[in-house]
Structure 1
């Protein structure tokens, strides 16, 4: 993931100390029961499209921007799926972070998926019945996005 300029500027002041950031994740579902996934350049794993909001950026707008930047697919955020504070983590360079992640269910409007930046090795639609290995949290987010109940999840107490 390319580090946004505002984070680099903050890191000049705080070093590797814990930094609280707002992340966004998109479960982009088409009408063929497929989900849009990216194969990340940093670890080679398939994943949902995600990113970091810029200061003052609206969450749904920021996610739509991330989807287009990473996959060349224009999408619309349909609804908020979940709000979750992720555990603290660190990057190989020692930077400490913790994300508040807002996950949205999205629908594609136009565009064919392709690698559109240096953050991904591959981009494609995957059938929901034949997904590649994904992080368990991402599988849970896909399940939440498929729930008919439009209410967002604020905890993981739905038994998934």
Structure 2
């Protein structure tokens, strides 16, 4: 997790509140600094060294899962306000669209949830990832699941649960993650094999968030906090 994160008081979170002393920590990694981008652009990132180098803000705003505004100099502003971080530790400035397939098998006491162990933060998380340029969210849901667990659900019709901001550890004032989450229901568990960005793929008890938490904690692991709201929504849908 990022150790430079500052705590932003709730009263100062909104962009409409003046805070002249605000000095967010820059979380830009070395490979995304302007001098590095001038030499080589990573395959997962855009070449724009700053938001001023982005020429399609109107298109990005129109396509955003969660609406956002630009400041007086034309730079994007996190939809929920100040984060205590500036710069970019994501592929794009502004919104970075992700897809999170929530795969649930069985019913009642036998209900299980598929999670992966992420290789970046070593926590249990939904097997999702970023939507590729030109890719649709439904296609990204299928691709990410197959890449990280080996499970092909291209013939299954999921239930789209929502489009939400994700409290991702890489978020900053100018770059953040918003995700399309979808629920896949299977009659029984299927074999999952960790690959790509996953260190492990595991089926966990999913009668409730408490049951999930207890199982993960007992195994000496940690649930990725940013995905808790998505899992809570899935449980609400299953309870209907």
TM-score where L is the length of structure 1: 0.72
> How far apart are the structure 2 equivalents of 1:22 and 1:45?
21
Partner of residue 157, structure 1: none
How do 1:59-78 and structure 2 match up within 5 A?
59-75=137-153, 76-78=156-158
Alignment-derived partner of residue 48 in structure 2: 13
Relative to structure 1, the CA distance from residue 124 to residue 77 in structure 2 (aligned partners, 3 Å threshold; closer, same or farther) is: farther
Q: Is the 8 A contact 2:161 2:180 kept in 1?
A: yes
In structure 1, how many angstroms separate the alpha carbons of the residues matched to 2:126 and 2:229?
Answer: 11
Q: Does 1:104 align with 2:182?
A: yes
Q: What stretches of structure 2 of length at least 5 have no aligned partner? A: 1-41, 51-86, 217-221
Q: Does 1:116 align with 2:220?
A: no
Q: Partner residue of 1:154?
A: none
Q: TM-score, normalised by structure 2?
A: 0.50
Residues 148 and 139 of structure 1: CA distance in aligned 2, closer, same or farther (over 3 Å): same
- Match of 1:63, SS state, is helix
1:28 matched to 2:108? The reply is no
Give the whole-Å Cα distance in 1 for the aligned partners of 2:181 and 2:201.
19
Distance 1:22 1:116 in 2: 21
Deviation at 1:21, TM superposition (A): 1.1
Count of residue correspondences:
140
Separation in structure 2 between the aligned mates of residue 88 and residue 51 of structure 1, nearest angstrom: 12
- Give the conservation status (yes or no) of the 8 Å contact 2:166–2:226: no
Richer in helix (by share): 2
Maintained 8 Å contact 2:101/2:182: yes
Q: Deviations over 1:76-98 (max 9, x none)?
A: 3511112112358538xx9x631
Does structure 1 residue 57 correspond to structure 2 residue 135? yes
Q: Structure 1: give runs of 5+ residues left out of the alignment.
A: 151-160
Name the structure 1 match of 2:160: 80
Q: Does 1:90 align with 2:179?
A: no
SS of alignment partner, residue 203 of structure 2: strand
Give the ranges of 4+ consecutive aligned residues of structure 1 lying more than 6 Å apart after TM superposition: none
Cα 1:77–1:66 shift into 2, 3 Å? farther
- What's 2:23 paired with? none
Q: 1:40 aligns to what?
A: 118
